[in-house]
């Protein structure tokens, strides 16, 4: 039975509207599940993209244990419609105690983290700024929980 959701993304968050929206949805989600969002700083002076992605991946991995069901977000991952996502989340809630979502930084996500993931999901087929992806993820999770619980929020 699901006990906790964690969201990981390289930090810090720069956009104030993302901070505000994140706080709004995390507060709403706490009615359904224990949820946390962590944004570890990754200090990299290297300008080469592959080295930056690898370093970010190493830092993020420090915040993930083997007990967590790891889902990474990538534009090439599996996409869901709202009801499909709610059903998927409901199934995961029955079988997992701790789900962790990982969002890559501005350059993307390391291949190592993708290989460690149990699943790779897509929030959009568009390439989105990682902070926007975070905001869309928490709204989608909230929407899923309201669908599961039969709370009027989703309109179709």
Point out the annotated binding site for S-adenosyl-L-methionine: 73, 104, 123-128
| Cα 13 to Cα 5: distance, rounded to the nearest angstrom | 19
**Burial, 155: exposed, middle or buried (Cβ in 10 Å; 0-12, 13-18, 19+)?**
exposed
Annotated binding site: 73, 104, 123-128
**Beta-sheet strands, E only, within the chain:** 4-8, 34-38, 69-78, 98-103, 119-121
């Amino acid at each position: 039975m699901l006990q906790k959701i964690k969201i990981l993304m390289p930090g810090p968050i720069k956009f104030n509207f993302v901070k505000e929206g994140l706080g709004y949805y995390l507060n709403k989600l706490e009615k359904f599940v224990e949820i946390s969002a962590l944004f570890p700083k990754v200090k990299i002076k290297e300008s080469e993209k592959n080295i930056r992605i690898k370093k970010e991946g190493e830092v993020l991995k420090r915040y993930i244990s083997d007990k967590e069901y790891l889902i990474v977000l990538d534009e090439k991952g599996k996409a869901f419609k709202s009801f499909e996502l709610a059903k998927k989340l409901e199934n995961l809630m029955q079988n997992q105690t701790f789900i962790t979502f990982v969002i890559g930084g501005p350059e993307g996500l390391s291949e190592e983290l993708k290989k460690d993931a149990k699943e790779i999901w897509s929030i959009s087929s568009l390439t989105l700024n990682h902070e926007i992806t975070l905001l869309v993820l928490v709204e989608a999770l909230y929407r899923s929980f309201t669908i599961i619980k039969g709370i009027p929020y989703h309109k179709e």
